[in-house]
């Protein structure tokens, strides 16, 4: 019963946060200095045409009615039309989101792998852990855009190890059915495209991953060191278990709660860094889409991207809380 109440409360809280997020985006979109109708029709549009378009969009309705219609449209997938592309924002996002998700998932795998290595190796005082820690902290201390530019200068221009921009060099690369280039290349048997797409992802994904990896690794290291001094670990040692078994069987699992919480926060920051990374590497995702929308005052596109990132952030953190409850049953009470 307590477990069911725990999960239901987390899901209801997620719905409440999403409604508040939609309200904030609605208010910002309605009270921006620029008139979206004027931006859409042009500065020289006739007043009668502007009035008719404003009525068609519902901008002359009372604010509660506008908000209700806005949320109703969101539930039906209506994010309005982009003022720049003249296409529905939902259509634009459906084309851009797979590229961003593919890059972010790849970066998350790198971040979690480096975090585990850093946290466990540092806590266990493994050989070379100090050098790895210094290297990763130095990389995380640099701004994301500077790290990306340094990576391009070193690995692309000087060493010629990695490509610079885009998702692939192949013009005939498969575009379906999933729109994830690595998955589609496997489905179509294009392993040359698979290899090339992974090479294109390494540099931008590493730039996204280094900061979260250090943050998660530090929290994991601190949690492991705290648990290594606990009574149950001393009991395990007194039974004659080897230090390796004590670390992996008894300590690491009990130390994952704090690392999971930090992972949820860092995923949100990772999506925020996507805007910078995609603009530098010309990665055709939602970050690059946002950069193109801002100079044109394309508020529906900006609002759609903001809403998508907010939904992802809320869902991920809710999932993290649920996973914490699964890992530590005491949190469900």
Could you give the domains of the chain? 97-332 (1.10.3720.10)
What distance lies between CA 149 and its chain's CA centroid?
21
Look at residue 186 in the predicted model and tell me its pLDDT. Answer: 93
Which sign does the torsion angle of CA 48, 54, 59, 62 carry? positive
pLDDT recorded at residue 66:
82
pLDDT surpassing 70 at residue 1: no
At residue 198, the pLDDT reads 93
Half-sphere exposure (CA, 13 Å, Cβ side) for 155? 19
Q: Given this model, what pLDDT does residue 18 score?
A: 84
Q: What is the pTM of this model?
A: 0.79
Which of the four pLDDT bands, split at 50, 70 and 90, describes residue 310? confident
Distance spanning both ends of the chain, measured CA to CA: 9
| Residue 332 dihedral angles phi and psi, to the nearest 5° | -85, -10
162/195 Cα distance (integer angstroms): 12
Which pLDDT belongs to residue 196?
93
Using only the alpha carbons of the chain, give its radius of gyration: 24
Tell which wins on pLDDT, 309 or 41.
309
Is 184 a residue whose pLDDT tops 90? yes
Round to whole Å and give the CA distance between 36 and 56.
Answer: 13
Q: Give the separation between CA 305 and CA 311, rounded to whole angstroms.
A: 10
Q: Which residues of 216-242 are buried (b: 16+ CB within 10 A; e: fewer)?
A: bbbbbbbbbeebbeeeebeebeeeeee
CA 111 to centroid of chain Cα atoms: 12
- By three-state DSSP, how is residue 187 classified? helix
């Amino acid at each position: 019963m307590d477990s069911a109440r725990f999960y239901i409360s987390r899901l209801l809280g997620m719905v409440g946060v999403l409604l508040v997020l939609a309200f904030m985006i609605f208010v910002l979109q309605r009270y921006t200095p620029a008139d979206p109708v004027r931006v859409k029709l042009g500065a020289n549009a006739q007043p009668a045409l502007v009035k008719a378009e404003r009525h068609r969009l519902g901008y002359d309705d009372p604010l509660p009615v506008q908000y209700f219609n806005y949320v109703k449209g969101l539930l039906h997938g209506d994010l309005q039309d982009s003022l720049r592309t003249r296409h529905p924002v939902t259509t634009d996002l459906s084309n851009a989101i797979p590229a961003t998700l593919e890059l972010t998932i790849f970066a998350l795998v790198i971040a979690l792998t480096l975090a585990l290595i850093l946290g466990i190796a540092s806590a266990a005082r493994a050989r070379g852990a100090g050098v790895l820690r210094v290297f990763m902290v130095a990389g995380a201390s640099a701004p994301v855009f500077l790290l990306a530019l340094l990576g391009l200068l070193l690995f692309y221009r000087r060493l010629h190890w990695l490509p610079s921009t885009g998702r692939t060099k192949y013009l005939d690369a498969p575009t379906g059915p999933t729109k994830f280039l690595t998955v589609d290349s496997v489905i179509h048997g294009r392993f040359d495209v698979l290899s090339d797409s992974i090479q294109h992802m390494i540099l931008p994904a590493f730039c996204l991953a280094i900061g979260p990896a250090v943050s998660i690794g530090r929290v994991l290291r601190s949690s492991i060191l705290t648990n290594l001094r606990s009574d149950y670990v001393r009991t395990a040692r007194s039974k004659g278990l080897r230090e390796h078994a004590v670390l992996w069987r008894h300590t690491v699992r009990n130390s994952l709660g704090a690392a999971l919480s930090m992972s949820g926060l860092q995923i949100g920051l990772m999506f925020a860094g996507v805007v910078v990374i995609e603009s530098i590497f010309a990665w055709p995702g939602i970050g690059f889409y946002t950069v193109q929308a801002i100079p044109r005052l394309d508020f529906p596109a900006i609002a759609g991207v903001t809403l998508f990132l907010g939904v992802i952030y809320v869902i991920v953190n809710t999932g993290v809380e649920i996973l914490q409850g699964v890992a530590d049953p005491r949190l469900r009470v």
